[in-house]
Structure 1
Amino acid sequence: MSSGERRNPVRAAGCVLWRPALSGHGIEIALVHRPKYDDWSHPKGKRKRNESAEACALREILEETGQTCSLGARLPTVRYTVDGRPKEVEYWAARALGGTFTPNREVDRLVWLPPTAARLRLTQSRDRDLLNALTATTAG
């Protein structure tokens, strides 16, 4: 067991954020671009001290996308290692309720894409797995 595996994991939360497609057919998925990593992912972030995973997910969605949302079905928890330290991210499906995106240092772009296009844009396979879990629970 490495020293990273013995350490407490970094705890985080996020959502696969969706909305009814503007076309009226199906859904669209929100993806964020993080310039630090030059990747496309679902919005997520680290939990603050004594913050519940649900509160963190709602806060991170608002901070990274400008959207308020309603949490839906629980999605799989994702576990991976970052800089030798384990990370555990709890996810939910979340319906966007509205808001305005403002680029910032952490997230410089937001796109809304149909699930098929979102699957192609996502950088990490673990994020594609989350999208698959969402589409299995949502009419999309």
Structure 2
Amino acid sequence: MSSPDNSTVQAAGCVLWRRSPFDGELEVCLVHRPKYDDWSHPKGKLKRGEDPLSGALREVAEETGYRAATGAELPTMHYVANERPKQVRYWAAEAVDGAFTPNSEVDRILWLSPTAARNRLTQPRDRRLVDSLLASLHLA
């Protein structure tokens, strides 16, 4: 595998999910970032030399307050942000424990059904990650 181009921003994140405490149905966690006023999956830039999976779990913890158990790797997203190419690797991750506390990066999170999450996501490209999550859990 070739090493990524240094001009490409490397990031990682998770499609965080849980079973609803109310009805046991699958819920997907979305984060709201006030800086961009958008709804997305928890993700962020990797630190220099950081393993992508470790970075994804760090970002989930920082943005949602939840510790997660990772599952399948999901599709990698490639797009341009701030005039630079960006690559974001994603994993399915089940929320194990934790609690959300608003912070400067993320002021709200929502736990939504897969359909509601798909509809709430700001970027259409993020919607297929919900479908990939369901497929990885054999629910699609």
1:89 alignment partner in structure 2: 88
How much is the aligned-residue C-alpha RMSD, in angstroms? 1.3
Query: Which consecutive residues of structure 2, in runs of 5 or more, have no partner in the other structure?
Result: none
Query: Which consecutive residues of structure 1, in runs of 5 or more, have no partner in the other structure?
Result: 1-5
Identical counterparts, % of pairs: 58
Residues 51-100 of structure 1, C-alpha deviation per residue, up to 9 Å, x if partnerless? 00011001000000000001100000000001110000000000000101
1:108 alignment partner in structure 2: 107
**Secondary structure at 2:93's aligned position in 1?**
strand
Distance in structure 2 (CA, Å) of the matches to 1:116 and 1:38: 21
How many aligned residue pairs are there?
135
2:117 alignment partner in structure 1: 118
| Offset at residue 136 of structure 1 (A) | 1.2
Distance in structure 1 (CA, Å) of the matches to 2:132 and 2:82: 27
1:136 alignment partner in structure 2: 135
1:52 alignment partner in structure 2: 51
Asked whether the 8 Å contact 1:11–1:89 carries over to 2, the reply is yes
**Secondary structure at 2:103's aligned position in 1?**
coil
TM-score by length of 2: 0.92
TM-score by length of 1: 0.92
